[in-house]
Amino acid sequence: MRDNLTAVAAALALGAASFGAHAAADTKVGGKMYFDLTDKSEKLGGDKTDNSGYGVDVPRFYLTVDHKFDDMWSINLTTDFNYSSTDGKSQLFVKKAYLQAAVNPLFKVRAGSTDMPWIPFVENQYGFRYVEPTTIDRLKFGNSADWGVHALGSNDYIDYEVSVVNGKGYSNVSGRSKRMDVEGRLAVTPVAGVTVAAGFYNGALGNETESTDAENTAQRYDGLISYVGNGLRIGGEYFEAKNFSATAITTGPQDKATGFSTWASYDLSDAIAVFARYDQAKPSKDLAPDTKRKYANAGVQYKAAKGISFAAAYKFDKLDTGDSATTKKLNEFGVFGEFKF
């Protein structure tokens, strides 16, 4: 009997060890942090604002847990932390939390909050998100993640995603509205390294409720062409957006925005790359037709190790209202970093 109990105990121990090793192999933990140490000079109507001076910012810190149940089912949880030295406050919240059914590479379904079709896709083409968000993200004409149902897939030639979502972004977990928003993207790779993509958005941004009707609809149309290969990244994005505010949707009047972004970078070596970008937009063509937004950056990136990148960069941002008293200019120079594991 003692020998039998010993054998059973040994078998259970081996089974537990095997299960633990299997679970560990199917669960991955990762993280990513964006950091900067810069000097800013912001002027409003020619006078410096309190946003000027030296400071350290950690705009984003993501912690991610992925678990794979089998070849089809998996889950993801990504928390997001951000801190700004401007107001000295930080917050922790969920950015992504979804269950995925991967039927095959061309058809996956995610339920919950996950990447939206356009912004993260453009970030991947651009390659320098830690220096600056892409133009639609920084001008607030879209969300990078949202709660809903997402269908996506890709192979060597096409990459698509369609999302039916709440419309208020990942920070609004339980928003209810009379209809859901739809965003989609289709990208093709006609030759190696070249990507051509188009996207759209349609909805009420979660603002049409039982007590509030939507007088207008938020719409956005996107286009992109890029090349990534042989150490070179070069591309451009164009957008046209309409009624991307709660006021425009619920009461009006309607408003329209257009803009574009161009970028280029080149790897001088395995560790060093140079990059530059230029954006231009008219964020309120109907209500403030004289307003223009221009943005540019340029810098040098150094990859210190796997997952650790630094960039010495200069940024310029100008919101020209057509009135010198309300025109805002920002010049920023410093070190930006991305740490991921």
Q: Is 241 helix (H, G, I), strand (E, B) or coil?
A: strand
CA dihedral 144, 147, 148, 152 (to 10 degrees): 30
Q: Which residue has the tokens 């810098």?
A: 299
Counting residues of the chain whose pLDDT is more than 70, the rounded percentage is 90
DSSP string, 21-87: HHHHHHEEEEEEEEEEEEEEEEEETTEE-TT-EEEEEEEEEEEEEEEESSSSEEEEEEEEEEEETTT
Q: What does the pLDDT average to over 240-252?
A: 94
- Please state, in angstroms and rounded to a whole number, the distance separating the CA atoms of residues 233 and 14: 50
Residue 223 CB burial class (10 angstroms; 0-12, 13-18, ≥19) = middle
Q: Does 77 score more than 60 pLDDT?
A: yes
Please choose, from the candidates 164, 246, 234, the residue with its C-alpha nearest in 3D space to the C-alpha of residue 194: 234
Are 289 and 251 in contact, with CB atoms under 8 Å apart? no
Q: Which residue has the higher pLDDT, 13 or 121?
A: 121
pLDDT at 81: 83
Q: What does the pLDDT average to over 117-123?
A: 98
Q: What does the pLDDT average to over 116-127?
A: 98
- Please state, in angstroms and rounded to a whole number, the distance separating the CA atoms of residues 93 and 82: 9
Lowest mean pLDDT among 90-104, 117-131, 299-313: 90-104
Q: Does 5 score more than 90 pLDDT?
A: no
For 45, left (φ over 0), alpha (ψ -120 to 50), or beta? left
Residues 6+ apart with CB under 8 A from 177: 166, 167, 204, 206, 207, 208, 209
- The runs of H, that is alpha helices, within 81-239 are 119-126, 135-138
pLDDT at 83: 64
Q: 236: pLDDT confidence band, cut at 50, 70 and 90?
A: very high
Q: What does the pLDDT average to over 271-289?
A: 97
Query: What CATH number does the domain located at 29-340 have?
Result: 2.40.160.10
Q: Mean pLDDT, the chain, as a whole number?
A: 91
For 321, left (φ over 0), alpha (ψ -120 to 50), or beta? alpha
- State the greatest distance between any 2 C-alpha atoms of the chain, in Å, as a whole number: 92
Dihedral of alpha carbons 182, 241, 96, 310, sign = positive
Lowest mean pLDDT among 5-9, 54-58, 311-315: 5-9
Please choose, from the candidates 149, 27, 35, 146, the residue with its C-alpha nearest in 3D space to the C-alpha of residue 94: 146
Q: What is the pLDDT of residues 35-49, one digit of tens each?
A: 999 999 999 998 999
Q: Does 211 score more than 90 pLDDT?
A: no
- Please state, in angstroms and rounded to a whole number, the distance separating the CA atoms of residues 239 and 202: 14
Q: Does 213 score more than 60 pLDDT?
A: yes
Q: Residue 118 CA to chain centroid, in angstroms?
A: 8
Strand partners, 173: none
Round to the nearest angstrom and report the end-to-end CA distance of the chain: 50
Question: Which two three-digit tokens encode residue 320?
Answer: 């020209």
Q: What does the pLDDT average to over 139-157?
A: 97
